[in-house]
Amino acid sequence: MAVRVSSSFLLLLFGLVAAVVVQLARQRQKRASRYRPAKGVLAPTAAHGDVKQAVSSPPTWPPPISPADLDWEGSDPRPFRPFKPVYHITMALQSSVPEDLIVLDRNYRDRIDIRRAVIVAHPKTVMGIIPSPDSPSDPSPKAKAAVDELYEYLMGSYLPARYPSAFRILAETVEDDFFLLQEENGITPVPAEEVAALPSAYPPTSHRLTAFLCCFASGFDPSSKLGLLLRDIHTPVPSYDKIGPSMERFFSRIQVGKNVKRLNWSVQTHSDLFIPKGNHIVEGDVFTEDEEIDITKSHMRVECQTVTRLPKTGIVLFSFKTYLFPIAEIKAEGLGPGLADAIQGLKQGNAPGMWVYKGAVRWGKGVCDYLRS
């Protein structure tokens, strides 16, 4: 069962969280020869057997959902404060519940307006799906099936159950006209020459990005990640190799109904949400150390990331909700020295490159001086 609504409405609802669909890739040498390497995007391949194992005998689906407070429009964003004195790159996974997938609060309507503008202005940057290996002008059938399944779950089950005061089912039909790739929306598949062969030596338990909608990227271009394997997506991240293998194993084993979440934080000196370039510093970027900052515009940016598996296709869904907390608010809570220690701790743990990567080399001194004043 799913709601019959317009394509733009569905895209905006899907944009409640930035979501990506990750598919397990398996090396098949006999198929790899059909594609020519170009620009690092990987050709569609069959799913690994672990997916079938992970989704066998799934729990009741859809899972029971508790209705949210009727006054969710007046609720404050969740006050996440995930920083620690010394930064260590870890998976830091926590058990999660279905209610964490989409969380509405008083910022909902403003965020939807921002997403609407971002999608109109940057459609090819914020939305994408890998093409079919047999018909490059069409989306991959497996990726499209996963997007179908996600929309059916969100429209027909999750949103009406979680937020009954805001969403209700109008019809029990689904029209095949609301997916990520549509000519009328100006979204086109990755050209055939952008599709590359899966390297024959790559291990069989790798995951790759097959479809995405990401309106609030921080320091990266989402479209540049489409089709990449998990480790290649994280190439710019310092010391990712310390957790990369564990991430692959976890993604392979996650079961339907066993959702998890994790928190990621940084600081930015503005209030923008869509930042495909600028928040991070990567190799080749030119920057100025210890810049002057306007503390009234500076925020701690937190992502609450959730990971779950869809039962029909076995696809892993990775989503995140972005929170911006004014630095002045954190200081007013008495947490200024703690956040200052955490900022300095970016260069003291097992991933010291985070000090530069997260941009602290630019804003760290100014923010820490304020927090300790």
Assigned domain for 346 exists: yes
What Rg value do the Cα atoms of the chain yield, rounded? 21
Between vectors from CA 367 to CA 107 and to CA 273, what angle results, nearest 5°?
Answer: 30
CA distances from 25 to 43, 50, 110, 181 (A): 9, 11, 38, 22
H or E stretch including 306?
Answer: strand 299-309
Predicted confidence (pLDDT) per residue in 217-255, tens digit: 999 999 999 999 999 999 999 999 999 999 999 988 899
Residue 1 domain-assigned (yes or no)? no
- Percent of the chain exceeding pLDDT 70 equals 75
Answer yes or no: is 214 within a domain. yes
Q: What is the mean pLDDT of residues 194-207?
A: 45
User: Would residue 312 count as lying in a domain?
Assistant: yes
**pLDDT above 50 for 314:** yes
145 within some domain: yes
Give CA–CA dist 356/236, Å, rounded.
11
Within-domain flag for 2: no
Domain range for 15: 7-372
pLDDT band at residue 19 using 50, 70 and 90 as cut-offs: low
Q: How many structural domains does the chain have?
A: 1
pTM: 0.81
Task: Provide the pLDDT for residue 179.
Answer: 31
Beta bridge partners of 275: 218
Q: Strand pairing of 299-309 and 18-25?
A: unpaired
- How does strand 195-196 pair with strand 41-42? parallel
Q: Rounded mean pLDDT of the chain?
A: 80
Please write the tens of the pLDDT for every residue from 344-362.
Answer: 999 999 999 999 999 999 9
DSSP single-letter state for residue 282? -
In sequence order, the 6+-apart residues with CB closer than 8 A to the CB of 77 are 105, 106, 107, 323, 325
Helices (H), the chain: 7-14, 29-32, 49-55, 108-121, 123-126, 141-153, 159-162, 230-233, 244-253, 327-332, 336-344, 354-357, 360-372
Buried b (16+ CB within 10 A) or exposed e, 224-251: bbbbbbbbbbbeebbbbeebeeebbeeb
Q: What is the pLDDT of residues 54-106, one digit of tens each?
A: 444 455 778 889 999 878 888 999 999 999 999 999 999 999 999 999 999 99
Torsion, Cα 141 142 146 149, to 10 degrees, reads 60
With contact defined as beta carbons under 8 Å apart, do 118 and 30 qualify? no
- Is 74 domain-assigned? yes
- Is residue 244 in a domain? yes
pLDDT tens per residue across span 143-195: 999 999 998 999 889 999 999 888 888 766 544 433 332 333 333 333 333 23
